[in-house]
Amino acid sequence: MFTARSLTIPLLLSFSLTSFAQDWPSYGNDPGGMRYSTLDQINPTNVGRLKVAWVHDTGEFSDGTALPTSSSFETTPLLVEGVLYVVTVFHRLLALDPVTGKTIWEFDPKFDRSQRVNLYHSRGLAYWTDGTRKRIFLADQLGRLFSVDTETHALDPAFGVDGMADLQAGMGVDKYPHLRYGNTSPVAPCGDKVVVGGWVSDGETQGPSGDIRAFNALTGELAWRFHTVPRPGEYGHSTWEEGSWIDRGGTNVWSTMSVDPELEWVFAPLTSPSTDYYGGDRKGMNLFGDSIVAIDCNSGKRQWHFQTIHHDLWDWDLPVYPNLVEVVRDGRKIPAVAQIAKTGFVFVLDRVTGQPLFPIEERPVEISKVPGEESWPTQPFPVKPPPFARQSMTRDEITDVTPESRAECMEMIDGAYFDGPMFRAIREQLTIQFPGTNGGANWGGGSFDPTEGVLFVNSMDVGGPKQMVERPEDAKVPYRSRGVKFGRFWDSNMYPCQKPPWGSLTAIDLNTGEFRWQSVLGEIDELTKRGIPKTGTSNLGGSIVTRGGLVFIAATNDKRIRAFDKHTGEELWEARLPASGHATPITYQGKDGKQYIVIAAGGGNKYNEDFSGKLVAFALP
C-alpha cells in the first residue's frame, strides 16, 4: 500500500555557474546536461602533473564465464554535499569519501546476478531534494526504482512499497515474459516528479511498452504516462498504418533525459520502433520514433517534438539527451537544445518552440527494394553544423594500415552494396552502412562550454555490414537483418575497414554552426609500435569541459583518459587506466581544496576483453 504524506513542491534545481563549482549533483552536472564545471585549479599549465589520488575497487565485474553475460562499468558518479555516490554494475549504491575513495555506507538492492541481460551495467544515479528531504533514486535492470534516504542510508518507507516502485507493472511484461524490461540509465528528477524511461527489446515487432512515465518523488505513485507510440485519438496516431501501433516494441528512452527546471519540461530522446531494420508491418513516419519530445513534467503533455529519422530502418536511435544550451543569434541569447545523433548530425532547435535554429532540409533518399517495405522518401539533413562523423565511403577508402587488415576487409566487401550516400536502404545484398548501429555518437553525448558556446562531441567511424534475409512464412515479419562474422565493419583485430581516423573529438561552435577543431581520439598500441600514426579508436562514454580550459575524456578502448586544450584541440595529458573507461568522468573540489577528476574504468562492453570494477581519481600532487 502507498502511504499518504503531505507534499511540498521541491525547490527548483536551477543551474548557476557558481553553485555547482564544488559538487556534481546531476548526471550532466546541471539538469540540462552541459557537463561544464567552473573549476580551474587544473589548467593547461599544470595538467601534465596529474597523478592518481586514489582507486576504489568495487570488486564487481563479470567476464561472462561464471555469469550469463559480461559487464561494463559505465557509471557517472554524483558528488552531493561532500559525498560521492556511485552505482556498480550489479546496481549496488556506494557512498564514498571523495578525498580518499573509502566507503562511508552502501545500499544493496540484491540484484539477481543469474538474470540474463544484454550487459550488467548502469550509467548512473539521480539526486532529488525538496530542500528538506534528500533522496538518491536508483533504477535497475530488473525494472525496480529505489528511493534511498541520504540521511538514514536506508530505503524511504513512504515511497512505493517499502521504498521500491515496480517499473514493470503495467508495461506488458506479463504478456511478453520472454522479453525484457529494465533500466540502465538514471531517471530524471523534475519538480516533484521523477521521469522514467526504460530498456526494451527492439528485435521483436511487439513487446513491453516503451512509454515514458512520471512518478511522485515522495510516494512513488504514477503521475502520468506518455504514449511513445500514439494511440487512437492522440497526436501522431495517423503516422502508423492501421493496427501497427498495438504493443509495438522499441520507441523507448533507454538513455538519459535532460530537464529545464524553470519550464519544468523534460526532453526525451526516443529510439527506433521495432523491428529495427524492417518496417513493412509499420508503414508510415512512425511518431515518436527517433524524435526529441519536450514533455511538461506536471501534466505529461507533449509541448513539441522533432523527428530526426522518418520510419527508421537503420537502428539509428537517439542515444543521449539533448544538451540544454544557449546560442547567440543577432546578438540575442536563445535557449536551445542540441541533439547529438548516431548519424553524425547535431540538430539545434529552439528550446521553447522546437523550431530549427539552423536550416534543416528534407532531402530525397534511396527507396528500399525489400519486398513489402515502404521506406520514407525523404529524411531531414541539417545544413549546419556539418556532420561530425563519417556518413559514407568508397572502395578507394578501404584501410591500408596493414596488408592483413586490408585483405580481410576487401574479402568482406566482395559483392557488397557499398558506395553511396547516407540513408541507403539495407538490401538483400550485403550492404555497408555508415555510421554503424553504435554511431557516430552514442550515449556519451557531448559537453558544452556556456562561456564560449562550444559543444564537444566524441565519435567513432565504424560501419555496419547488414543484409536482409527472408524468413519462413509463419514468421512475424518476412525479413530479418543478418551481419557478418566480425559483427561490424572491421577485421579480426577490430581495426575498422576504412582508412583512419577511426575516432575523433570535435569542437562545434553552436553560434556559427562551424567546427573550431577536430582531433584524433585514441590510439592502438600495436599499430603505434609499428610506426603507424595515431588512428583513433572506437569509443563509448563522454567528455566534460572546465573553465580551466580543458576537455577531459576517457571513452576510448585503449585504457586511457586524456585532457585536451579546449581552444586548440591539442592533447595535453593522458594516463593509463586499469581498463578502458567506457564512462563519462566528473570533476569536483574536495574538502581538502583539491580539484579531482574521477572516471569509472570497467572495460568490457563491445570492444574489450579486459574487465574491471575500479573507480579512479586524479588530482595534482
The predicted-structure confidence for 361-416, as pLDDT tens digits, reads as follows 999 999 999 999 999 999 999 999 999 999 999 989 999 999 999 999 999 999 99
Amino acid, res. 297: C
What pLDDT is recorded for position 19? 42
Q: Is residue 361 part of a domain?
A: yes
What pLDDT is recorded for position 22? 85
Q: For residue 513, give every residue at least 6 positions away whose Cβ sits within 8 Å of its Cβ, in sequence order, or none.
A: 348, 358, 383, 384, 385, 386
How confident is the model over 13-42, as a mean pLDDT?
81
Q: Is residue 31 part of a domain?
A: no
What pLDDT is recorded for position 503? 98
pLDDT band at 345 (very low <50, low <70, confident <90, very high): very high
What pLDDT is recorded for position 486? 77
Strands across the sheet containing 126-129: 126-129, 134-139, 144-149, 164-166
CA angle 100, 106, 109 (to 5 degrees): 145
* pLDDT > 50? residue 282: yes
Q: Which of 616, 598, 605, 611 is nearest to 77 (CA)?
A: 598
What pLDDT is recorded for position 244? 97
Q: Kindly report the CATH number assigned to the domain that includes residue 513.
A: 2.140.10.10
* pLDDT > 80? residue 4: no
pLDDT band at 10 (very low <50, low <70, confident <90, very high): very low
* pLDDT > 80? residue 20: no
What pLDDT is recorded for position 605? 85
What pLDDT is recorded for position 565? 98
Q: Is residue 140 part of a domain?
A: yes
Q: Is residue 7 part of a domain?
A: no
What pLDDT is recorded for position 390? 96
Q: Count Cβ atoms below 10 Å from residue 279 Cβ, excluding itself.
A: 28
State how far the Cα of 79 lies from the Cα of 114, in Å rounded to an integer: 31
What pLDDT is recorded for position 1? 27
The per-residue pLDDT for range 494-537, each reduced to its tens digit, is: 999 999 999 999 999 999 999 999 999 999 999 999 999 999 99
Q: Is 497 exposed, middle or buried (0-12, 13-18, 19+ CB in 10 A)?
A: buried
How confident is the model over 577-595, as a mean pLDDT?
97
State how far the Cα of 292 lies from the Cα of 349, in Å rounded to an integer: 10
Domain that holds residue 298: 36-54+61-619
State how far the Cα of 556 lies from the Cα of 247, in Å rounded to an integer: 37
Looking at every residue in the chain, the average pLDDT score rounds to 94
pLDDT band at 420 (very low <50, low <70, confident <90, very high): confident
What pLDDT is recorded for position 2? 28
* pLDDT > 80? residue 488: yes
* pLDDT > 70? residue 12: no
What is the domain count for the chain?
1
pLDDT band at 31 (very low <50, low <70, confident <90, very high): very high
Q: Are 260 and 31 in contact (CB under 8 A)?
A: yes
> Which of 16-25, 161-170, 603-612 is predicted least confidently?
16-25
Q: What is the pTM of this model?
A: 0.95
What pLDDT is recorded for position 608? 85
Q: Is residue 21 part of a domain?
A: no
Q: Count Cβ atoms below 10 Å from residue 55 Cβ, excluding itself.
A: 13
> Which of 17-21, 329-333, 347-351, 596-600 is predicted least confidently?
17-21
The per-residue pLDDT for range 181-221, each reduced to its tens digit, is: 999 999 999 999 999 999 998 889 999 999 999 999 999 99
Q: For residue 480, give every residue at least 6 positions away whose Cβ sits within 8 Å of its Cβ, in sequence order, or none.
A: 275, 277, 278, 468, 469, 471
pLDDT band at 9 (very low <50, low <70, confident <90, very high): very low
What is the percent of the chain with per-residue pLDDT over 90, rounded to a whole number?
A: 92
What is the percent of the chain with per-residue pLDDT over 70, rounded to a whole number?
A: 97
Q: Is residue 22 part of a domain?
A: no
* pLDDT > 80? residue 432: yes
Q: Is residue 8 part of a domain?
A: no
Q: How far is CA 173 from each of CA 91, 200, 273, 393, 497, rounded to the nearest angstrom?
A: 21, 10, 17, 42, 40
pLDDT band at 286 (very low <50, low <70, confident <90, very high): very high
State how far the Cα of 195 lies from the Cα of 213, in Å rounded to an integer: 6
State how far the Cα of 400 lies from the Cα of 389, in Å rounded to an integer: 20
Q: Is residue 597 part of a domain?
A: yes
